[in-house]
Amino acid sequence: MNMTNNTVLITGGGSGIGRGLAEAFHKLGNQVVIAGRGQKRLDEVTAANPGMRSLTVDMGDVDSIRSFAARVTADFPALDAVVHMAGVMKPENLLAQQESLADAEATVATNLLGPIRLTAALLPHLLERPAATIMTVSSGLAFVPLATTPTYCATKAAVHSYTQSLRYQLKGTSVRVVELIPPYVATTLTGPQQATDPLAMPLDAYLAEVMQILTDEPDATEVNVKRVHPLRYATDRGHAEYDKFFETFNDQMATARAKPH
């Protein structure tokens, strides 16, 4: 991925990893466009980063995505990179599925259908650029699911699969496909408590390692910081060892969540 002289669209750019990446690319001199549902939050980010631009979009709504894609390509004809950072993560009690079904459906719409729909809408434009990048965002939990957030993990596993197919189909074109695979990072994705959770990787440290990987490995197809390796490569241990790891991981997370911070 080229690190300079790009026009980069980052969905979910109003907070967390999305905002961090937006500011990192902005500092490198790229034209950065952030997108999200709340204009107030987007305005706060652009005010702190003169020259950064913003547009609103609801990544869970197909009509919103269509109109957004038309506007962003019209307003920013040099657009040559998109980072699909927008996402939601909510706990679900599958024993009371009727209570959480709406959350599950909204998670699928935002986390999976959202990037698929936006990619489809932007791809004709990106294919006309001399060099372009689509960065999808899965998770370490795509490879070892956290049982308390089953639909989130399922969507991220689907994003990983979709990314592989997208990359294969775009071989020989001007569009490269990169997958960002974050570990558990100190953001507010699941609520304010996550930002101070000692189990989470500090956001600044995560962003620094990601940008270093992108700089040092311009042809990388996956961006995996060291913190995510145990999850990303869990299946390399074999089926039996993976099953043990899955049980241990979920038991440890459940115990940690039960402790007051």
Question: Which amino acids are annotated catalytic?
Answer: 152
CA 256 to chain centre: 25
Rounded distance, CA 13 to CA 18, Å? 4
CB 90, CB 149: distance < 8 Å: yes
**Cα 115–chain centre separation:** 9
Residue type for position 126: L
Residue type at position 47: A
How many Å apart are CA 215 and CA 24, to the nearest integer? 12
Tell whether the torsion through CA atoms of 201, 202, 205 and 209 is positive or negative. positive
Query: Largest Cα–Cα distance of the chain, in whole Å?
Result: 53
- Tell me the C-alpha to C-alpha distance, in Å, between residue 14 and each of 52, 74, 75, 145, 232: 12, 22, 19, 26, 27
Residue whose pair of structure tokens reads 């269509």 in the numeric block? 66
Residue 145 one-letter amino acid: P
CA 17 to chain centre: 8
